[in-house]
Amino acid sequence: MKIDRLIGIITLLLQKEKITTSELAKRFEVSCRTIQRDIDDICKAGIPIVSIQGYNGGLSIASGYKIDKTVLTESELQAIFVGLKSIDSVSTTTHSQTLIEKFSNGKNVVVAEKDKILIDMASWYQDSLPDKIELIKQAISNQVKISFIYYSGKGEIGRVIEPYLIVFKWSAWYVYGYCLTKDDYRLFKLHRLWKLQNTKIPFEPRELPEGKPDFNTYFLNAESKLIALFDAGVKYRLIEEYGVECFTTTDSGKLLFQRFFASSDYVLHWILSFGDNVKVIEPPELISKIREHAKNILTQYE
C-alpha cells in the first residue's frame, strides 16, 4: 500500500542522515519515478525533504524535523519494546520492528535488549486468537455489537454483547462488555468463545457504573472461603498460583491453605486437579461435591 510505503520512507529518512532515490526504490521494490512522486507527496504533507545533487548526495529531512531522542531514555525505550513484542505475539500485524527503526536511529541499543525478556501471550489456540482480538478491537473502536457462541459448565449459548475492553488477566484473554442476554456486564474468556461475528449493529456506549470493572470480583468473594490441607509435595503449585504467603506449614508438615473464591465450579476442578494430595476442611458443600465426583470416577472403572 502507498501509505505504508510513505511511512516507511519517512522512517528511513528519520533514521539515516541521507539516502538516495535508487536505494529507496530498491528497498520498496518500485521505480525511482515512483519514489520521486512519493517524495513530492511527503513534501505536500508538510515534511520538508532536501535533495542534494552530485557526489555523496541524496535525500534528507530538514534537521528541524528530527526526533529528539532525549525525550525517552534507553531503559524506557527497552520497556516499550518488550511491551510491543508481547502484544505482537497475539497480533495479526507487528509494530515493534518499525518502532525500533524509528527510535534507535540505526543503533542497536533497543535491539540488543529485546532478547533479555521474552513475553509470549499466545497459546495453543494461536491460529484463532489474533483474529478474535483483531475483530473485537475493531468492534470496540467502531462501537458495534459482536455475537458468538460461548461454552461454559452450563452448556453452550449464543450471546450478543457491547464490547468495551480486551483483558489479559489470570494468564488468559477475555472480552469485557455488556451482555444483552443477562442485561449486565460480563467477562468472557476468548478460548471459550467461537463463531465470533461483527454484527455491524452500532450501540451507544454506556457509562460504566462506579466500581466497574473490578475483575477480581469474578474470582474472589468474601462469602465463600476454602480451607484445605495440601501435601508438601505440591507446594510449588500453591506458590506458583498464589504466592509464598498463601499457606502456613502445620506441625505435621502439611500446608494449610485458606482463600476466598467466587466460583464454586472453579474451586472444585482446581481441588480435583491435586488428586489425593489435598484434603478439604471447609466448606461442607464442597466436600460433598468431591465425594460425589470420587464415586462417579470409581464407577467409570468398575
Peptide bond into 213 cis (omega under 30): yes
Peptide bond into 130 cis (omega under 30): no
What percentage of the chain's residues is helix, strand, coil (to nearest 5)?
A: 40, 25, 30
Distances in whole angstroms, Cα of residue 132 to Cα of each of 176, 202, 246 = 13, 19, 35
Spell out the per-residue pLDDT of the chain, length 302, in tens.
577 788 788 878 877 778 888 888 888 888 888 988 888 888 887 788 888 887 778 888 876 665 544 455 666 666 666 666 666 666 666 666 666 665 555 444 444 444 566 666 655 555 678 889 889 999 999 999 999 999 887 789 999 999 999 888 777 789 999 999 999 888 898 888 899 999 999 999 988 777 667 666 665 555 578 999 999 999 999 998 888 999 999 999 999 999 887 667 778 889 999 999 999 999 999 999 999 999 999 999 98
61 - beta bridge partners?
49
Distance, in Å, from the CA atom of 62 to the CA atom of 60, rounded to the nearest integer, reads 6
pLDDT for residue 299: 92
Distances in whole angstroms, Cα of residue 80 to Cα of each of 72, 75, 86, 96, 176 = 10, 9, 10, 9, 25
Contacts of 92 (CB under 8 A, 6+ apart): 130, 131, 133, 134
- Using the Cα atoms of residue 153, residue 156, residue 158 and residue 162 in order, give the sign of their dihedral: positive
Question: Grid coordinates 500500500 are at which residue?
Answer: 1
Give the CB-side neighbour count of residue 81, counting CA atoms within 13 A. 26
Distance, in Å, from the CA atom of 202 to the CA atom of 139, rounded to the nearest integer, reads 9
pLDDT for residue 4: 73
